[in-house]
């Protein structure tokens, strides 16, 4: 409540940013540390200064309209001098998006041809409101938020990226899960003619790329559906036009270019687990104590780095988002890696 | 002047030298110009590793080529190319130690203990080192008849490198399959049934 009294203008009744977040110490510190104070004012003309050196992009009308009323800095790292935002150029030229190839530069070089409009998302499974929604219909009932999240790749590198999007919980609530729903399953677009990686005959991934979350993970306020980054629509190589961002899990859980969200009873078999279940699990929570067979997970290289300074730092449990720990109480995270 | 004249052969060796050096020059320039992406160390690591493998394959193509053509040029650059493969493998390892690990050797020890692909890479590098050390005239003379069997270790090195590469690949085997196919092709050219026919094939093709 201390927080509320310090921030009288907080839109606490705003369903977009649940009050629970503000009660949390991290969220509070984040908002105080950043520009959250002014930013949280709804409907004001105040806008955040644009991110530097960002390639502008044409945005659909609904996106432009939503951008008029963004909750800027809704979540920011507690110490932005440590977690400096990765330059736009790096976050958009060094990507794992195997639909476009396996080289880190392939997505930036080859994703330009992806058609992202029109875009529909199938909502199905154990829901009372199934249907095919346009991206606009999926997004516009919520308010756009900017969240600056750490992104930790399972390959032991990491970045800090400002996303624009809405809580995943909003979308799930609107879909209205039935009592049978236990998991959320996500699917990426399959369109080999625009996704050259899907044409490869020696690719081990059985397209579509599939990811999943337990329903309570998906409902956690930190789970996020992004349509933009750096104040603009998502560049294709970052998973346009709609991607998941689950900051306490390794990057591969944050599935890109989503075309289907299904509420299901059984735990989905995510693509990487299917290829190599000894290396990639369902949960894939960032965990410095459980190594990947090919990489130690104890530390990470924060990018961009330079030749003589790998910029190594200690990896934090749940990527530093310890507020999710209660989701896993009583679970052996060595077994459920 | 013919293709076998000393001048041509010298020029050829110089050209091969410059060609083998050019990837290093190119990548260093890219890094210096900040065109190597947000993780330049990894960029160099992968580039050097791949370059070592490619040069290793090229080295192994020299014997079949000289059988096919009888041109001295191919045998003349064999030692040079072998040393280049070793050189790039060494740069690859150094990139790993300096750029990725930041010379944190405790991580290296863990990696060696736990990660098979690192062990396999190490063994391959040891093989290359042994060949590099025994590639001079003095060692050849000392080793005499044993020199040739010793340098057959190159086949083992190639297999180890492909295994190393295989374990590094995560999802798309296309590139790996290409290199493995090249390796299998080069190896089959060494099967007696095929290698003894190469000279006559070369004649028929007008290559010798
Ligand atoms: C000396 C010990 C070695 C170590 C510690 C080492 C380490 C590595 C590492 C860390 C990677 C990248 C793994 C990743 O993608 O995360 C790699 C990839 C690779 N290494 Fe090595 N390596 C060694 C020896 C060698 C040798 C001797 C060769 C070839 C002659 C070689 C060829 C390659 C190739 C071709 C790749 C894959 C490059 C790509 O993915 O494009 N390595 N190695």
Distance CA B10, CA B5 (A): 9
**pLDDT tens for each residue of B157-203:** 999 999 999 998 888 888 999 999 999 999 999 999 898 999 889 88
Check CB contact of B170 with chain A, cutoff 8 Å.
Answer: yes
CA distance B35 to B146: 47
**Measured between alpha carbons, how far is residue A254 from residues A213, A245, B27, B57, B66 in Å?**
10, 5, 32, 39, 53
Close Cβ partners of A12 (under 8 Å, ≥ 6 residues apart): A4, A19, A22
Asked if A310 and B107 come within 8 Å (Cβ–Cβ), the reply is no
The C-alpha atoms of residue A276 and residue A278 are separated, in whole angstroms, by: 5
Measured in Å, residue A183 CA sits from the centre of ligand 1 at: 39
Gap from CA of A169 to ligand 1 centroid (Å)? 42
CB A258 within 8 A of CB A242: yes
Q: Which of residues 85-144 of B touch A (CB under 8 A)?
A: 98-102, 104, 107, 110-111, 114-115, 117
Residues near ligand 1 with C-beta < 6 Å? B 45-46, 49-50, 52-53, 56, 89, 92-93, 96, 118, 121-122, 124-125, 128, 161, 164-165, 168
Among A159, A294, A310, the residue with its CB nearest the CB of B41 is A310
Q: Which atom of ligand 1 is nearest to the CA of B179?
A: 35
Contact check, Cβ <8 Å, B99/A310:
yes
Other residues' Cβ atoms within 10 Å of the Cβ of residue A289: 11
- Which ipTM score applies to this complex? 0.84
CA distance A263 to A265: 7
pLDDT above 70 covers a percentage of chain B that reads 100
Residue A76 to chain B, least CA–CA distance (Å): 22
Which of A198, A199, A208, A305 to probe the B interface (max B CBs under 10 A)? A305
Question: Which tens digits make up the pLDDT trace of A121-149?
Answer: 999 999 999 999 999 999 999 999 999 99
Residue B134: exposure state from Cβ atoms within 10 A (0-12, 13-18, ≥19): middle
Task: Tell me phi and psi for residue B182, to 5 degrees.
Answer: -60, -40
Nearest alpha-carbon partner for A152 in A291, A249, A284: A249
A chain contacts of residue B48, beta-carbon cutoff 8 Å:
none
Task: Quick: pLDDT tens for B9-54.
Answer: 999 999 999 999 999 999 999 999 988 999 999 999 999 999 999 9
B11 secondary structure, DSSP code: H
Per-residue pLDDT reduced to its tens digit, A218-277: 999 999 999 999 999 999 999 999 999 999 999 999 999 999 999 999 999 999 999 988
Q: What's the CA gap between A297 and A147, in Å, rounded? A: 25
pTM: 0.86
Query: Which chain A residue shows the shortest CA-CA distance from B175?
Result: A202
Q: What is the DSSP letter of A17?
A: S
Residue A9 has pLDDT above 50, yes or no: no
Q: List own/partner pairs for B165-172 with CB under 8 A and 24 or more apart.
A: B165/B49, B165/B53, B167/A294, B167/B116, B167/B117, B167/B120, B168/A294, B168/B117, B169/A102, B170/A102, B171/A98, B171/A102, B171/A203, B171/A204, B171/A205, B171/A275, B172/A98, B172/A101, B172/A102, B172/A197, B172/A200, B172/A202, B172/A203, B172/A204
Query: A305 CA to chain B: closest CA distance, Å?
Result: 6
- Three-state DSSP at A23 gives helix
* Alpha helices, H only, A194-328: 215-219, 271-275
With contacts defined as CB-CB under 8 Å, which chain B residues touch A238?
Answer: none
Q: How far is the CA of A11 from the centre of ligand 1 (A)?
A: 53
pLDDT on residue A1? 30
- Return the bridge partners of A152, or none: A158
**Buried b / exposed e along A40-74 (16+ C-beta atoms within 10 A):** bebeeeeeeeeeeebeeeebbeebeebbeebbbbb
Whether residue A35 has pLDDT greater than 50: no
Q: Are B104 and A312 an interchain contact pair (Cβ–Cβ within 8 Å)? A: yes
Rounded to whole angstroms, what are the CA distances from A98 to A57, A120, A143, A195, A272? 23, 21, 31, 9, 12
User: Scanning the structure block, which residue is given the tokens 């980054």?
Assistant: A229
CB contact under 8 A, A98 and B114: no
């Amino acid at each position: 409540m201390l927080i509320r009294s310090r921030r009288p203008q907080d839109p606490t009744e705003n369903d977009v940013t649940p009050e629970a977040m503000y009660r949390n110490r991290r969220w509070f510190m984040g908002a105080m540390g950043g520009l959250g104070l002014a930013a949280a004012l709804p409907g004001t003309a105040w806008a955040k200064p644009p991110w530097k050196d960002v390639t502008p992009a044409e945005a659909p009308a609904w996106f432009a309209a939503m951008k008029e009323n963004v909750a800027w800095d809704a979540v920011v790292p507690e110490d932005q001098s440590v977690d400096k935002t990765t330059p736009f150029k790096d976050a958009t030229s060094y990507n794992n998006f195997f639909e476009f190839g396996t080289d880190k530069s392939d997505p930036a070089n080859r994703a330009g041809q992806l058609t992202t409009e029109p875009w529909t998302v199938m909502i199905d499974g154990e829901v009372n409101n199934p249907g095919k929604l346009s991206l606009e219909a999926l997004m516009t009932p919520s308010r756009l938020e900017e969240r600056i999240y750490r992104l930790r790749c399972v390959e032991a590198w990491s970045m800090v990226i400002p996303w624009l999007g809405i809580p995943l919980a909003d979308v799930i609530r609107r879909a209205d899960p039935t009592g049978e729903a236990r998991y959320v399953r996500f699917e990426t677009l399959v369109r080999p003619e625009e996704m050259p990686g899907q044409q490869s005959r020696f690719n081990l991934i059985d397209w579509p790329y599939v990811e999943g979350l337990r329903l309570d993970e998906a409902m956690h306020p930190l789970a996020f559906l992004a349509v933009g980054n750096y104040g603009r629509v998502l560049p294709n190589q970052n998973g346009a036009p709609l991607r998941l961002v689950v900051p306490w899990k390794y990057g591969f859980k944050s599935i890109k270019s989503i075309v289907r969200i299904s509420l299901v009873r059984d735990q989905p078999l995510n693509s990487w687990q299917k290829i190599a279940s000894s290396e990639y699990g369902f949960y894939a929570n960032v965990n410095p104590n459980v190594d990947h067979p090919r990489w130690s997970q104890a530390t990470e290289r924060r990018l961009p780095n330079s030749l003589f300074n790998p910029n190594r730092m200690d990896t934090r449990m749940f990527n530093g988002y310890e507020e999710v720990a209660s989701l896993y109480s009583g679970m052996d995270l060595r077994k459920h890696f | 002047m013919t293709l076998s004249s000393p001048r041509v052969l010298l020029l050829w060796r110089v050209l091969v030298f410059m060609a083998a050096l050019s990837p290093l020059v190119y990548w260093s320039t890219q890094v210096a110009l900040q065109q190597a992406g947000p993780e330049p160390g990894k960029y160099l690591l992968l580039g050097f590793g791949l370059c070592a493998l490619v040069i290793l394959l090229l080295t192994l193509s020299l014997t079949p080529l000289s059988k096919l053509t009888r041109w001295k040029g191919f045998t003349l650059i064999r030692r040079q190319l072998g040393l280049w493969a070793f050189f790039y493998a060494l740069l690859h390892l150094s990139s790993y130690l300096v750029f990725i690990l930041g010379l944190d050797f405790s991580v290296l020890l863990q990696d060696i203990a736990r990660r098979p692909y690192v062990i396999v890479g190490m063994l391959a590098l040891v093989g290359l080192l042994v060949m590099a050390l025994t590639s001079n005239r003095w060692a050849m003379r000392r080793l005499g008849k044993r020199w040739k069997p010793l340098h057959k270790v190159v086949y083992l090195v190639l297999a180890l490198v492909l295994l190393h590469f295989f374990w590094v690949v995560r999802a798309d085997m296309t590139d790996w399959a290409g290199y493995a196919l090249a390796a299998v092709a080069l190896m089959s050219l060494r099967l007696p049934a095929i290698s003894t026919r190469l000279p006559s094939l070369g004649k028929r093709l007008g290559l010798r």
